[in-house]
Amino acid sequence: MAPTGPAAPTPSTLAPAAEGPRRAAARRLREGLCERLAAWSVPALRVALGLVFLVFGVLKFFPGASPAEQIVRRTVEALTFGLVDGTAAVVLTAVVETAVGLALLTGRALRAGLVVLAITLAGVLSPVALFPGDLFGDGMTLMGQYVLKDVVLVAAAGVVAATLGARFTLAEPARAPAA
């Protein structure tokens, strides 16, 4: 038989206990910090991600300057079944990464940049599936570490895209109701 009386109080329904001045100050500090983090963390992540893509993209324009040049060549050649050769793959990757970096940094063409970023990220981790022996042979290789750190870039891009994508959706003008 279920009880028929009033529901038992829970911590969320109880009135907050009186807090002393130290607790009140700590709570205000915590709330202020949370507000600032909420306001600035995603823009900071967007700029950081933009800088990473811009720097790594620009490096690929200079032969031998990028530590990822060989893996880019091999990956794009494998993904395109040899239709795109290694040099074109590196130049194409340089253009894409630089453009995405600039879009993230400046906020211009951001929607297009996020779409290109999503497509790019599909290929970023593909060396793990394509060349696992080269990346994790007898242990973690330097190239394996380089590719594995891209997991952080993928996660950061997901946060930025989800946050900005929601903003783009919510920012659309409201339609006037039909009369």
In the chain, the amino acid numbered 114 is L
Are 120 and 101 a contacting pair, CB within 8 Å?
no
Tokens for 32? 């202020």
pLDDT at 40: 85
pTM, rounded to two decimals: 0.72
Locate 138 and state its tokens.
Answer: 């007898």
Q: Which residue in 47, 58, 69 sits closest to 113, CA to CA?
A: 47
**Please, what sign has the CA dihedral across residues 28, 32, 35, 41?**
negative
Alpha-carbon gap, residue 100 to 54, rounded angstroms: 7
pLDDT at 170: 45
- Span 41-73, pLDDT tens digits: 889 999 999 999 999 999 999 999 988 899 999
pLDDT digits (tens, 9 = 90+) for 17-26: 677 888 888 8
Give me the residues of the chain with pLDDT under 50, please: 170-171
Tell me what pLDDT residue 12 has: 52
**What's the distance, Cα to Cα, between the start and end of the chain in Å?**
54
- Residue whose structure tokens are 């007898």: 138
Q: CA quadruple 110, 157, 167, 40: dihedral positive or negative?
A: negative
pLDDT at position 171, please? 47
